[in-house]
Amino acid sequence: MIRRASLVLVGALMGATAMGVVYSATIPAVAANSSTYRELAIFGDVFERVRAQYVTPPQDDKLIENAINGMLSSLDPHSSYMNSADAEDMRTQTRGEFGGLGIEVTMEEDLVKVTSPIDETPAARAGVLAGDLISKIDGQDVRGLKLEEAVEKMRGAVGTPIKLTILRKGADKPIELTIVRDVIAVRAVKYRVEGDVGYLRVISFTEKTFDDLKKGIEKVKADVPADKLKGYVLDLRLNPGGLLDQAINVSDAFMERGEVVSTRGRNPDETRRFNATPGDLADGKPVVVLVNGGSASASEIVAGALQDMKRATVLGTRSFGKGSVQTIIPLGDAGALRLTTALYYTPSGKSIQGTGITPDIKVEQPLPPELLGKVEAQGESDLRGHIKGQNEDDEGSGSVAYVPPEAKDDIQLNYALDLLRGKKTDPSFPANPEQAELKK
């Protein structure tokens, strides 16, 4: 039922960079003309003068890396150079598993705070609790470290031990724990039953996403009789993207036919189309897709496919608007080049680059008082140097990306539940696949 596309990473990191990737080692280089090589000679001269005369001795590798990134960042916000460590980190993210402890963390008062231990992981078995503050890692103070640095120290080879010093509310003294790292599989999809509705939240598009989604749908079906099940909420809010093949598979999970997405490069013969195959895991039940300004790239592919093919009603606010694809070109031990090589298009032939997905039903999620003035709308069209979208002059992209921690405060989710239960009505719900206008 599910078509396995080639490995493509399509995602957005909310900030100055974004990911959207095809892995390839066979893209040929095109020879430059003689004037270009003269310009390169000037670069070499500048490089040597900086090395010889700058006030403090610079690092050669940093100079070259920054020069490469300067060239790539002048193209668009998503093309960049990844050194070997960055490239490996990206591969770890897309696999959806790593050697570690199994805790979700944040930073609080310069200490690492455990927001949640993941079930059946070394941390959970060792007794780490939500709310614990990690003050030392292998005897080194956490204060002064960035969160990313602390997380990197806690990750490591499977089977290796790590010592944590924990401050716990109510404990008389710090708690010392020695934990042995294991393989941590990060759930790409979280699911639950909301009475008579299945709730599926896709966190990211890793190699595990479709399998997690399938398990979620099967669990919903097992818990709710078919004649009682009103439908599904597919929550793509705050989802920065990930693997294209997983976006295609997630879309295909709800579709019986039709195009999911196409990618178009600089040459017409580079156009690729991906189609759904027969078999709807949701058995035709109504679907409401939630999006906001944090829904980007791969999540926009899913929302756009289900919207264009009239398989789902999209609810929320305008999505981020990242519609470009980056090719990853391995550079051996030196890392990899991430280069924008194509744009992707929804089944109706629309590019969402710089415009995003417009929801069928616009529902704003108000910010709590403590966040007013601190959280602003952000989208691809706000990024300096982005590739301008075909409809960007009319619309622009993005919106505020905020989801309340408590479901009772989630206006967008509760609106979707009311639609599925018939408490609210709208002409766009339920969507009817038979009314889809296929691109000629």
d(CA 418, CA 116): 30
Question: Do residues 270 and 264 lie in contact, with contact meaning Cβ atoms separated by under 8 Å?
Answer: yes
DSSP string, 317-342: S------EEEEEEE-GGG-EEEEEEE
Query: How are beta strands 111-117 and 133-137 bridged, if at all?
Result: antiparallel
Tokens 């009239």 correspond to 310
Report the DSSP pairing between strands 259-265 and 189-194.
unpaired
Crossing angle of the two packed helices 244-254 and 298-308, in degrees rounded to 10: 30
Active site residues: 297, 308, 322
Task: Round to whole Å and give the CA distance between 217 and 243.
Answer: 20
Closest CA to 203 of 245, 236, 232, 234: 236
Give the CA angle between residues 352, 319, 232 to the nearest 5°.
Answer: 110
Q: Distance (Å, rounded) from C-alpha 134 to C-alpha 168?
A: 9
